[in-house]
Amino acid sequence: MGVIVENLKRDTEDLMKAYADLPLDDYRRKLDLLNKLTAHMCREGKFLLAVETARAELPRFEEHKCLELANITHNMIKYCCLVGDYDSSIDYGLKALELFRQFGTADDINDVIANTGGVYISMNQYEKGLEYTQRALEYAKSKNDREALSFFLNNCGIALNKLGRHDEAVVNYEEAISIKLELGKKRELCNSYMNLAQVFLDIGNYSKAFEVLEKVGPIAEEISDLQILKELSFHMADYYRGNGLFDSALELLSSYVEFHTEAGSLSKIPNALKEMADIHETIGETKAALDEYKRLVSINERLYREASNARMVELESSFRVQQKMQEIEMLNSQNHELEEAKLTIERRNRELLETQEKLEIANEMLKTQAETDPLTGLLNQKRMYPIIEMEIERALRYGGFLSMIMIDLDDFKRINDIYGHLTGDNVLKAAAVIVKNSVRRSDYAFRYGGEEFLLLLPSTNIENASATANRLREEIPASLKPRVTLSAGISTWKGEDATDFIRKTDALLYLAKENGKDRIEKEV
């Protein structure tokens, strides 16, 4: 484990030096390094340091709106959650949504939805967390995004287990594990193994839990992940406790508390302290139990004092801790202290309700992120220009081809006039399905307006773009009823801005129309 810590420390120091050496005007690379730096800090277990580093640096980049800024803002949702700062998680989530609307994709928006579900789960609002995560899960299924699918299945499992739906949780975890094994996602695989083991621990199947936990250690050592090794120690403590090995459990829990105290991830500590207090009570060590309860109250007060108004505090557990302390110490002032605890709980409930209202606002914003055409389901013009500009910038930076196809359904007005607008709408929807299914996941399909569609094909030369257009020219007339043909213009990017790129492609489409329709004109 010492080797792991040393390697992580060296990686972090190298990234810090590289970040400091870059001038501010190279803001894209600087933001990318800041993102990597904070990720390494988290892997080292320095969650609070990661949050404070990003929080101090991000104001320097406020005027530089870009995808790299969106990415680190998005990651701050998770980082703030790790230290229990849920207000900041929500605020960064709203900022990430705004940036992804300009520079990201529907996949990015869905990731924010999923992370919002994670915020709910961290606040013990499992029904709401499950609702958000299942929404993200359905989107991942529709895109056949296996990696995202594995993450969302895992998060659904967490919520289901907390809701007592253990069998459903096991099914979700096992499917997530299967996908992660297939994709070679070792760190994420460890998390799913530990989550699955927790289900078995919760239902008292300790032999099955140990069988699963045994798989984690070798993987975590292989990928040098100290954080996973510490989380494994927490689960192993639960296993030892269930088997009556109380000294081993206390040793692991004590090390776990020490690690997270040093890391600044205070929200991880209360559960471990409660476990330690319960073990001491079980074996009759009343004074040691009282000491742990005092530490727990101190940590909860520190969480409340240092974090946001909506910091996760287990209110009912806090109430029970006060009662247990009074029982153990045989205090005469029980009624007075219980009244104070009640007032504290009521105050914190009000603060949590304020956070709930913020989350509802975030929910409404998510619902209004409609950036698809309501009739065809394709991306609309609102998303078109930012995406074209983003892909032009990528092509400029990394080289490679970028092609565009402009499609128009021939004589479409005749369909509306003869068959009616409802039939015309159905034809447009069917054509959109064919268009969408004809492109790769890395391509983009937009409804340009009326019966016109625009396809943007990154890393695609004019010949391959022509092949795509010709397939559509054959498939659409063969599939649609009433039958309709199409004309298309094809061009490849040659240094123009987005507007001129569209304009020259549109001119080729117009030429196809002028030359008799049901044909394709491509840039020479």
Catalytic residue among 451, 452, 496, 514: 451
Does residue 175 carry a catalytic annotation? no
Is the Cβ–Cβ distance between 77 and 42 less than 8 Å?
no
Is the Cβ–Cβ distance between 257 and 273 less than 8 Å?
yes
Burial of 118: CB neighbours in 10 Å, binned 0-12, 13-18, 19+: buried
Burial of 448: CB neighbours in 10 Å, binned 0-12, 13-18, 19+: buried
* CA–CA gap between residue 289 and residue 137 (Å, rounded): 42
Return all residues near 459 (Cβ < 8 A) that are at least 6 apart.
400, 401, 402, 442
Q: Identify the CA nearest to 248 among candidates 222, 276, 228, 271.
A: 276
Burial of 39: CB neighbours in 10 Å, binned 0-12, 13-18, 19+: middle
CA distances from 302 to 159, 297, 317, 414 (A): 27, 9, 16, 72
Helix boundaries (H) for 22-66 = 27-43, 47-57
Chain CA centroid to CA 270, Å? 25
Angle (nearest 5°) at CA 279 between 228 and 243:
70
* CA–CA gap between residue 188 and residue 180 (Å, rounded): 7
**In the block, which residue shows the tokens 């998060």?**
155
Quick one: DSSP state of residue 63? T
Return all residues near 107 (Cβ < 8 A) that are at least 6 apart.
143, 145, 148
* CA–CA gap between residue 73 and residue 148 (Å, rounded): 19
Catalytic residues: 451
